[in-house]
Homo-oligomer: A and B are copies of this chain.
Amino acid sequence: MVLKPQCIALSGGVGGAKLALGLSLELAADRLAVIVNTGDDFDHLGLRVCPDLDTLMYTLSGKSNQELGWGQAGETWSFLSALADLGGEDWFKLGDRDLATHVFRTQLLDGGATLTEVTQALLTALTVETTVLPMTDDRVATQIHCQSGETLAFQHYFVRDQCAPPISGVSFAGIDGARRSSRFSALLEGSEASSVIICPSNPFVSVAPILDLQDTWRRLCEQSGPVVAVSPIVAGMALKGPAAKMMRELDMPSTALAVAEFYQRVYPGLLNGFVIDHADRASADAVRQLGLEVLVTATVMKDVHDKQSLARDVLGFVADLTAS
């Protein structure tokens, strides 16, 4: 019998990776599986770049760049400088060390390996024991629909255009034909209870691609353990990324409550609990009125202690919901 993980975490990039690191410090390696959004992935300069997977790998291996908030620590930039000298595209900031990941990945993918297999090879090389799985081995590409009528590939919106264009919506090209990676599907099988933790990632571009993949969100509902989400919005602001700006442009208030409302409206019955920051405790009752249990705690993760502390709080919340 395959032991099911105690916890399935769904994650985008930076914010999700922080909580995933906390969870990895609280749970044995075989009791945690992190499912990562691949909608941000793109081919750039002939290389397959998987920003969210890389952020997870670098964060879990202790190699993440704390100053930049992305990429690897101790990074250098000679490649990008030389590429700019040649007139190449330098808007996506590929560091010299980071580039090794993309070259290594692209070479293995071109050789016929799946993204799941390549990710495992990278994790092994980086001595990360936590299970980290791409949501799919197929190509799904997040598209940002702008109020101007233009459609942008995600990284063009996010990095090249610095999230400046007001958006009217988001879609995921390829998602209708994409299938969960087989290891992700296997996690959803079987009878042992798993809880599901939706990390504090952007609901629209980081979590939705995972939930919208095949019948994933309904399969997550069927897990015997509870499903909880941690709000990526604290005091009306996204700690990282364009979530708050997107919410305003999509005619939602940029609040933790509105995140809970989004999940309840689009994925009814998925969530059992919702985690908000002390700064948003005034919204706790309103979230409860949506039919959700609420945990109010410190959700801003500045250092590893914050990450582990939030992970402990969320796991405690999950345990309470499981017992109730």
Contacts and interface: CB of A to CB of B under 8 A. Distances in A.
A79 interface: yes
A147 interface: no
B100 A82 contact: yes
A129 B243 CA distance: 50
Nearest to A44: B107
Which of A88, A100, A101 has the largest number of chain B CB atoms within 10 A? A100
A3 interface: no
A82 to B, nearest CB: 4
Given A103-B46, A107-B46, A122 B86 contact: yes
Nearest to A96: B78
A45 interface: yes
Interface residues of A, number: 32
A117 to B, nearest CB: 14
A87 B82 CA distance: 25
A181 B125 CA distance: 43
Given A107-B46, A125-B87, A72 B82 contact: yes
A76 interface: yes
Interface string A80-114: 11110111100000011111110110110010000
A45 B103 contact: yes
Nearest to A87: B125
A83 B106 contact: no
Which of A45, A75, A86, A122 has the largest number of chain B CB atoms within 10 A? A86
A82 B96 contact: yes
Contacts of A100: 79-80, 82-83, 85-86, 88
Contacts of A88: 100, 103-104, 107
A47 interface: yes
B104 A76 contact: no
Contacts of A96: 76, 78-79, 82, 96, 99
Contacts of A82: 72, 96-101
A221 B20 CA distance: 70
Given A86-B122, A110-B46, A81 B104 contact: no
A234 to B, nearest CB: 34
Nearest to A80: B100
Given A72-B82, A80-B100, A99-B99, 11 more contacts: A45-B107, A46-B46, A46-B106, A47-B103, A78-B96, A79-B96, A82-B96, A83-B103, A86-B122, A86-B126, A87-B121
26 contacts: A45-B103, A45-B104, A46-B46, A46-B103, A76-B76, A76-B96, A78-B95, A78-B97, A79-B79, A79-B96, A79-B100, A79-B103, A80-B100, A81-B97, A82-B99, A82-B100, A82-B101, A83-B103, A85-B125, A86-B100, A86-B101, A86-B104, A86-B121, A86-B122, A86-B126, A87-B125
